[in-house]
Amino acid sequence: MDINLSDLKEIGGRKNVSLELKFHNLEFVDREIEIKDKVQLELEIYNTEDSFLVQGTLEAELILSCSRCLQKYSSTIKLDISEDVMKSEMEDEEELYLDDIIVDNIILSLPMKPLCSEDCKGICPQCGQDLNEGECDCEIETVDPRLAKLKEFYNDQE
């Protein structure tokens, strides 16, 4: 998405932009990030001597996969944006390309381990049952690996 800056030639000038964009889904570190509906932008663009300062907010509804149970869930984000786009790095000083700014800000806002809820139980490591939907019949014995040798000691005593 490009914003026309031809009316913002004077240094110190300001332009307000309000947009709703249909944006493509993203992929980051083998995770697919689906963008539901439209991305809403409320921006102010300032013309400085060396750059265009882009400030405002970005709102979007993302569909993410939970790290524990692998189910998809909806997450609404509202981000404050502050980007300094150098004029020397722009192809055309009359067009501001927003896609990279949007993608960078969305990716930086993602949690390291997305969770559908704080109390998500995940899936059973043996049978794959979603433990949020119900318990499974698997016997899961967890032994601290640092103490595993002690278990062998007691088995030898018998």
Q: Where are the domains of the chain?
A: 2-120, 121-158
Q: Are 77 and 37 in contact (CB under 8 A)?
A: no
pLDDT for 61 equals 92
- CA torsion sign for 2, 104, 93, 50 is positive
What are the tens digits of pLDDT across the range 107-138?
899 888 999 999 999 998 888 888 888 888 88
Q: Is 129 helix (H, G, I), strand (E, B) or coil?
A: coil
What are the tens digits of pLDDT across the range 41-98?
999 989 888 888 999 999 999 999 999 999 999 999 999 999 988 888 888 778 888 8
Residue 15 has pLDDT above 90, yes or no: no
Q: Who wins on pLDDT, 3 or 40?
A: 40
Q: Are 30 and 110 in contact (CB under 8 A)?
A: no
pLDDT for 86 equals 87
Q: Is 68 helix (H, G, I), strand (E, B) or coil?
A: coil
pLDDT for 135 equals 87
Residue 37 has pLDDT above 90, yes or no: no
What is the band of 9 on the pLDDT scale with cuts at 50, 70, 90?
confident
Residue 149 has pLDDT above 70, yes or no: yes
Alpha-carbon gap, residue 5 to 8, rounded angstroms:
5
pTM strictly above 0.85:
no
